[in-house]
Amino acid sequence: MFPPTRIRSCLPVINPMFRRLKPHKPFRQISTIHNQTKSVNTTSTKFQKTKWMNFRAIFTKWVPLGSVIYVGWCYIRASVNYEVSKVEIKFYEMFPFRITSRLWGRLAACELPVSIRSLVYGTYVKLFNVNLNDAAVKDLTYYKSLSEFFTRPLRPGARYIAPALCVSPCDGVVLNCGPADTDKIEQVKGVTYSLEEFLGENKWSTNENNYYNSLLKNKKNILHQCIIYLAPGDYHRFHSPCDWTSNFRRHFSGKLLSVNPWMARLIPGLFTVNERAVYVGEWKHGFFSMTAVGATNVGSIEIYSDPELRTNTKGKRNRIEEFKNTVSYKKGELFGQFNMGSTIILLFEAPADFKFELNAGERVLVGQALTMTSKEQAR
């Protein structure tokens, strides 16, 4: 009986249909393995050359990697007082923070299985040093979603409302506080923003040629400001800082850049480009405004007395919505909440000798006195 190799080698002679086929070569195990190894090496080399150069890799690898490197570089430069160029700021503003913030908001609102809630929230507590002792509910399995955990209420008696004229509206770190006697106001030391760009056109009082003077009820007074940054681990609800009345709201659908303190040192006018809800009214000394500023990954800003407010929605970034409504607030009353950390800015009219009882960089809690107590001021 002929071996199979002999039959295969005779096929081109026996059948004319196989004339173009080459004669069969004897099977060699070593050479086949060598060829397979060589082909695998060639394929892997080609894969290594192309896996970082295709269209998909640009969005899944290069963009996240570049973002991390750029933010890290900005942090290093902030520590050495580096001045950022306008080109770099424009490049940073090009990142789709509004889209990613909406996606994060939807993800944070998803209900988590009870079995993994303790693990997820416990990890968050350790990463951002969350103080659960102040929470109304300490059981982590109680919170259905990350968003619900972010906006957790305080237990009764967790905060003391001081008898001062003006108190802190939220937990956080003071970025800047003090008199604001010009149209250019410091957001942090050495970095300013425009008062008119921040508040917008004055439609709530008699207009004058000078925007600054048009805000004042008493021309002997000056404006004062207090900027408080809420970190991701802070209590995310904010309260009314004093007894006042709001009669006008303006919503700027701006960008959602990070408002981290070191980022505020790099970008001048950061608060004038970010999305914000400005509430304007009056208090004891005249003009008073309270502004909630949005930031990266802040899914929304919610104001309890203003259910019509909708933030971080699709559309043009330069939209401005106005709403007139008179609402009176008492000191310490719940005002609204952030879905993640952000910033509260107080701008108000007061006498020139009005003084804050704190400095930039200090940490404050809801209800803590920002000024001297009423008895001390009477003296």
181 in active site: no
> Out of 171, 234, 253, 258, which one is annotated catalytic?
171
134 in active site: no
> Out of 239, 258, 289, 300, which one is annotated catalytic?
239
> Out of 246, 253, 300, 342, which one is annotated catalytic?
342
Sign of the dihedral defined by the CA atoms of residues 95, 303, 242, 180, in that order: positive
Specify the amino acid at residue 271. Answer: F
In angstroms, the CA 333 to CA 241 distance is: 8
374 in active site: no
In angstroms, the CA 372 to CA 162 distance is: 10
3-state secondary structure the chain: CCCHHHHHHHHHHHCHHHCCCCCCCCCCHHHHHHHHHHHHHHHHHHHHHHCCCCHHHHHHHHHHHHHHHHHHHHHHHHHCCCCCCHHHHHHHHCCCHHHHHHHHHHHHHCCCCHHHHHHHHHHHHHHHCCCHHHECCCCHHHCCCHHHHHCCCECCCCCCCCCECCECCCCEEEEEEEEECCCEEEEECCEEEEHHHHHCCCCCCCCCCCHHHHHCCCCCCEEEEEEEECCCCCCCEEECCCCEEEEEEEEEECECCCCCHHHHCCCCCHHHHECEEEEEEEECCEEEEEEEECCCCCCCEEECCCCCCCCCCCCCCCEEEEECCCEEECCCCEEEEECCCCEEEEEEEECCCCCECCCCCCEECCCCECECEHHHHHC
Closest-CA residue to 259 (of 343, 328, 167, 178): 343
Catalytic amino acids?
Answer: 171, 239, 342
